[in-house]
Homo-oligomer: A and B are copies of this chain.
Amino acid sequence: MTNVLRILPLGGLGEIGKNMTVIEYGDDILIVDAGVMFPENDMLGVDLIIPDYHYLMEGDRRSRVRAILITHGHEDHIGALPHLVDDIRAPIYGTPLTLGLIENKLRESKNLHEVDLVSFRAGEVIEIGPFTIEPFHVAHSIPDCVGFGITTPAGLIVHTGDYKFDHTPIDSWPPDFAKLAEFSQRGVLALLADSTNADRPGWTGSEMELLGGFEEVFRNASGRIIVATFASLISRVQIAAVAALKFNRKIAIAGRSMRDAVKIARKLGYLDLPDDLIVDLGQAVKMPPSQVVIMVTGSQGEPSAVLGRLARGRHNQLSIERGDTVVFSAHPIPGNEELIYRTINQLYRRGATVLYDRIARVHVSGHASREEMKLMINLVRPLFLIPVHGELRHLELHAAMGKELGIPEERIAVVENGTPIELTPYSMTVRDRLPGGYVFVDGAGVGDIGWAEVRDRDRLAQAGYFFAVAHTNGRGDLIGRPRLTTRGFVNEKEAEELLKGAEEVIAHAVREAYNAGREITDGQIESALNKYLYDETRKRPVIEAIIL
């Protein structure tokens, strides 16, 4: 095991190596990022998903974690920290903005006292145990974003984090090409690179191009402009602000999470919003429509976010009016399309004009497209390529691209979360995938429910339930009528007849068992009801019978 560098991507069902990566050499462990995933549509009732880091809880590993390095302040990179810091006490390293957002998060979860936050700036060099860590600046959709060069005894690895090669980001801080070239000069053992847009040809648009798109929207809109985006998409708030300034509009921010993020970014100097550009929502709704921009949360169609409430007429301060222009400045995350389009339709129904990325230049991705991914590979020229950040299909496309660029197939590792990769200065070995994977957060419980409970919920979601409680006298007769109750199965009118039939089925089963000299069981009643209800309705509710 000595001399071997172990890299272990952790995370959810979809993206690989996105939410957390473990880097281990000898006695020392680094963690890169600790984010959450959002559940897919069929993970019923699940609130969040966090990486399953039980690998770190085995043996004495938790005491060997030297640092938690954070690339940037988006939820899918920091959202699991409140859970992680309960288990692992290691200092958290991040840039000032990233740490500002983390501080806010840990204060809310009441974990702030448990952790040490250590600030760094891109370009600094941090020594931790046997590791020399060089954060380098990258462009993404939040400011102060880094990737990491990590020199280990096995060699130098480069972890890009989320990035794009934006030459004209809105904060005028382009990615650090020179540092990447310098790494390349020194010789890079392995590149862990963002694969998110591996199915997107060309080069991702610059944030500055987007400013042009926003200006066009502002030029054409005569009424209010409502811009929906992610709460933490600070760069987008900056673009809206620049456009607002130019077109003499004031900005209001609606939605607590976005207000928090903006406040932190402004305080730390990452967001250039003059005080007199900002108004509060109460003021904004009283101003002439042509003088207002309102930034809101809810760009993924979330019904409880500000835009979702506006779409249904359920916001207490603000309502959509004819003449409003609503801008979706975000791309649908797969699985959210239906809710987003429904929200757009509802907004139209209330008289708004709605602009979204298919019909207006109001969003650019924060991730590198194929040509940028090629540039990254050729800038860094790693011995080994480890595509990360993306679903398996993206990683495979990234791997194929690496091959096209001349990296031999055996030097590219496409793995799934939980699969350790071992590196020496001249070899890479993919180990067997570890058991486990991800953990559901459900209500107050973390890891308390799993797929078994989700499958039960799915069955209930398909056809509801049917409960029966019956009393027998032990001589084949029912005492009184059975108590029957059902929900999500049939409507009440239909239920009435069904319930009558079900009473007979129960009475019959009880009588039959008695005549056969058997004792009637809950299970027998359940089978009889199952058959009857399926014959009548072609549906299979969850059935529970209790015979007293």
Contacts and interface: CB of A to CB of B under 8 A. Distances in A.
B546 A469 contact: yes
A443 B199 contact: no
B448 A490 contact: yes
A425 interface: no
Interface in A340-394: 341-342, 344-345, 348-349, 353-354, 356, 358-359, 391-393
A245 interface: no
A338 to B, nearest CB: 4
A348 B394 CA distance: 10
Interface string A454-472: 1011111111110101010
Interface residues of A, number: 68
A308 B538 CA distance: 24
Contact of A359 (B199, B335, B342): B199
- Residue picked from A40, A349, A443, most chain B C-beta under 10 Å: A443
B445 A537 contact: yes
Given A457-B461, A546-B483, A334 B338 contact: yes
Contact of A199 (B199, B353, B358): B358
A223 to B, nearest CB: 16
Contacts of A338: 40-41, 334-335
B494 A445 contact: yes
A450 interface: yes
A71 to B, nearest CB: 24
Contact of A464 (B450, B456, B483, B537): B456
A238 to B, nearest CB: 27
Interface of A: 14, 40-41, 44-45, 199-200, 332, 334-335, 337-338, 341-342, 344-345, 348-349, 353-354, 356, 358-359, 391-393, 396-397, 416, 442-445, 448-450, 452-454, 456-465, 467, 469, 471, 483, 485, 487-491, 494, 536-539, 542, 544, 546, 548
